[in-house]
Amino acid sequence: SQQGEEDPQALSIQEGENATMNCSYKTSINNLQWYRQNSGRGLVHLILIRSNEREKHSGRLRVTLDTSKKSSSLLITASRAADTASYFCANGAGFKTIFGAGTRLFVKA
């Protein structure tokens, strides 16, 4: 399968704590993207990091990319109950965008 892997599969934290999700992929990439999916909804794009970038920030989100290890991480700081959702990484290579299996994040109020 071309899909990458994400860990953990599920994560439960208290409001205010930080959440870290990791993603590994198999092929060379143009970029690595992170998406969020609330239950029963479509996916929403959060952030894109290009293959020549190592770190990127957007609000409470911080993404890192290590192309030598074919891995990325997403850090959500000061989590809120509203951050409860599934988070997916997607690697862009050529014309394809391949999604991982996702991390289910639950933030307890």
Partner 1 sequence: EAGVAQSPRYKIIEKRQSVAFWCNPISGHATLYWYQQILGQGPKLLIQFQNNGVVDDSQLPKDRFSAERLKGVDSTLKIQPAKLEDSAVYLCASSFLRGGGSNTGELFFGEGSRLTVL
User: Is 93 an interacting residue with respect to partner 1 (CB under 8 A)?
Assistant: yes
User: Is 44 an interacting residue with respect to partner 1 (CB under 8 A)?
Assistant: yes
CA 40 to chain centre: 19
Q: Which of 20, 31, 73, 77 binds partner 1 (CB under 8 A)?
A: 31
Q: Report residue 69 as tokens.
A: 């290890």
C-alpha to C-alpha distance for 6 and 25, rounded to whole angstroms: 9
User: Is 97 an interacting residue with respect to partner 1 (CB under 8 A)?
Assistant: yes
Minimal distance in Å, beta carbon 64 to partner 1? Answer: 19
C-alpha to C-alpha distance for 1 and 35, rounded to whole angstroms: 20
Cα dihedral sign, 6-7-9-12? negative
Minimal distance in Å, beta carbon 85 to partner 1? Answer: 14
Residues in touch with partner 1 (CB under 8 A): 3, 29-31, 33, 35, 40-45, 48, 88, 90, 92-102
